[in-house]
Amino acid sequence: MKRKLVPVLLFLLIPILTNCEKDDDTQNTLTVTDVDGNTYTTVQIGDQIWMAENLKTSHYANGTEIELVTDESAWSNLTFSDKTISYYENSIANKEVYGALYTWAATMNGSTSSDSNPSNVQGVCPDGWHLPSDNEWKELEMHLGMSQNETEMYTFRGTNEGSKIAGDSRLWNEGILVTDIAFGSSGFWAIPSGYRNADNGGAYQLHEIAAFWSTTESGDTLSLSRLLNTHWTQIHRFTDSKKTGFSVRCIKD
């Protein structure tokens, strides 16, 4: 009897093991598609699931188009409530590689500031996803090794958490961010998409910095943001004008 039980048990376990393998594969290959048909890879870091690519969409989830502004003077004359989008140097090729650059108003799509975790602000994100608050950025940073006290600072903070969330060394200018041993280890894959200046509308620092919005404002004209620089291994927490064009990452609800 005992010799017959072994093959029977193995037979019963095979479908269970197979299903486990499929679940793991599904988790590792989760993607999300926006209303424009752009598909993004994702990554789980701690309890959060992030997009592992910069947002590209030029429409909100309900299909409403976001105004595209290409002229520098027109961008510099924006109000803090203008919902606008651009691509670095107005290049579609840059859009495909680096994603789009959004004003804070475009990112939020009429929602008010939130520092909750989760933020509960869908904004420009696809259905089922939301924008990160300052506290959600902090959760990511602490999971990667930053202390809670460090997350509250307005400077480059931590040790090499910036290198951990950066990715694709081919796109970055040479610097210690890229040469750090932990570069790319989190799978977040932040790339140096530069930014659009609020004052003169110009595009700056492609290959040099990656900058991202949060849902947390600092007064009427500023919002808390995150920045990576190729010359630093840390993550910079700072405030910038809501008229600046920054990249966007979304988190799964």
* pLDDT tens column, 133-169: 999 999 999 999 999 999 999 999 999 999 999 999 9
CA separation for the pair 239, 31 (Å, rounded): 31
Q: How far apart are the first and last CA of the chain?
A: 51
Residue 205: φ, ψ to 5°: 65, 35
* Per-residue confidence (pLDDT) for residue 247, from 0 to 100: 98
Is-contact 135 91, C-beta < 8 A?
no
* Per-residue confidence (pLDDT) for residue 167, from 0 to 100: 98
Residue 14 pLDDT more than 50?
no
Strands 193-196 and 156-157, sheet pairing: unpaired
Residue 76 pLDDT more than 50?
yes
Residue 222: CB atoms within 10 A of its CB come to 16
* Per-residue confidence (pLDDT) for residue 74, from 0 to 100: 98
* Strand ranges, E, within 105-246: 129-130, 156-157, 193-196, 203-206, 209-217, 222-229, 235-241
pLDDT class of 29 with cuts at 50, 70, 90: low
Question: For a pLDDT cut of 90, what percent of the chain falls above it?
Answer: 88
Average pLDDT, the chain: 91
Residue range 46-54: mean pLDDT, rounded: 98
Residue 5 pLDDT more than 50?
no
Question: For a pLDDT cut of 70, what percent of the chain falls above it?
Answer: 89
Residue 9 pLDDT more than 50?
no
The pTM is what?
0.88
Residue 37: CB atoms within 10 A of its CB come to 8
Output DSSP code: residue 247: B
CA separation for the pair 98, 115 (Å, rounded): 27
Kindly state the tokens that stand for 82: 């203008």
Domain boundaries, the chain: 31-252
Residue range 32-39: mean pLDDT, rounded: 98
